[in-house]
Structure 1
Amino acid sequence: MTPPIEYEDATAEVRAIYDDIRATRGTDYINNVWKCFAHNPKLLRRTWESVKEVMGPGTLDPVVKEMIYLAVSISNNCGYCIASHSAGAQKAGMTDEMFGEVMDIVGMANENNKLVAGYRVPIDDVYLKVRGAD
């Protein structure tokens, strides 16, 4: 286990990133993920900048962004991210009913993805006209 680096033990470079996290999120709390990533300040900065940009204001509502992140975290079996983004989604407005639907979708999509991959289902021509399909 990588020990978290607390603010008082951090380098000036890491403290500046912690300060940005606090200011952007409007909190004094720094998550353990950032504290562990602080062992590699370049990784910490790059990851924080990416999260700040992607999860910040945009076309999608914050609750939708958090539920998407939660769904991916469940599929990737990342316990830390499941806990973090469950809390984030709840804070953004996810209800128990919404969580249940997310779980239904995650379960169904994972099952169907495995079946389609196993059967090597050919992609329909009509879907090849959709953005990003090959």
Structure 2
Amino acid sequence: MSRTPREIFESYLYAGTISRNADALAEQFTEDGVFEAPLMPVGAAFPRRLVGREEIRRAMAAYYARQTGDDRAPNLDKSGYVLHTTLDPDVFIAEIDTVFDGDGRTEEDVAVALVQIFRMRDGKIARLRDYFAPELVS
């Protein structure tokens, strides 16, 4: 039984944003899967383009390790998303509004709007393009 776009998206979200588990995140991708953040500048801490499950695993583990001082987690009650299916059954788009609670230095919540385009193959992510403002992960 193949997974629905919602099941795929929520599994990806839990593996990455919520649990920051690079192994679980990488397993969401095909062996030759591609993860892209096209708006990231070259040389940024957050990877711009990763090719292959193992590169995704290594690079995201390194990125998550650098984030040890950042205890912000998304406030799931304030955050939301809408999934848009397309005529291609292997492609869907996630329109996301994520809210992070104040970081302790300020009381202000931080809202992040982003779009992700998922291209699937055999129930795994073959290509993910993640569009967000680069300064949010500096």
With normalisation by structure 1, the TM-score equals 0.26
Structure with larger RCO (C-alpha < 8 A, sep 6+): 2
Larger Rg: 1
More helix by share: 1
More strand by share: 2
